[in-house]
């Protein structure tokens, strides 16, 4: 039982964005984002190729706009009582 008492795992849930790539696609993992829109600075036109589409895995296309400094993605509606983790495929 001491393991449970001494557990140092973070007790809070913090917003986080991470990336991975496979082939020509970039994948954006958005964890616990509370805002209505997500701005991804690394995928703006100044730093990244021109984006053709953004798709929510397991869902549909989402509204998005690539600007000079960032990629702006409109976040799906949050489900109450769930830890919301979204994965976007960027083509």
- Tens of pLDDT along 53-83? 999 998 877 999 999 999 999 998 877 777 7
**For 5, phi and psi rounded to 5 degrees?**
-75, -30
pTM (predicted TM-score): 0.81
- pLDDT attached to residue 60: 74
Output the pLDDT for position 15.
87
Please tell me the predicted confidence (pLDDT) of residue 11: 64
Torsion sign, CA atoms 27, 33, 39, 41 = negative
Contact 60, 28 (CB under 8 A): no
pLDDT tens, residue by residue, 16-59: 999 999 998 999 999 988 899 999 999 998 888 999 999 999 88
pLDDT surpasses 60 at 2: no
Q: Using alpha carbons, list the distances in angstroms from residue 63 to 13, 67, 76, 88.
A: 26, 13, 9, 11
**Sheet harboring 71-74: ordered strands across?**
37-40, 71-74, 64-66
The residue count of the chain comes to 91
């Amino acid at each position: 039982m001491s393991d449970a008492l001494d557990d140092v795992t973070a007790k809070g849930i913090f917003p986080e964005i991470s990336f991975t790539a496979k082939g020509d696609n970039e994948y954006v993992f958005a964890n616990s984002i509370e805002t209505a829109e997500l701005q991804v600075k690394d995928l703006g036109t100044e730093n990244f190729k021109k984006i053709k589409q953004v798709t929510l895995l397991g869902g549909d296309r989402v509204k998005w706009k690539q600007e000079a400094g960032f990629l702006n993605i409109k976040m799906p509606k949050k489900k109450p009582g769930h830890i919301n983790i979204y994965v976007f495929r960027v083509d």
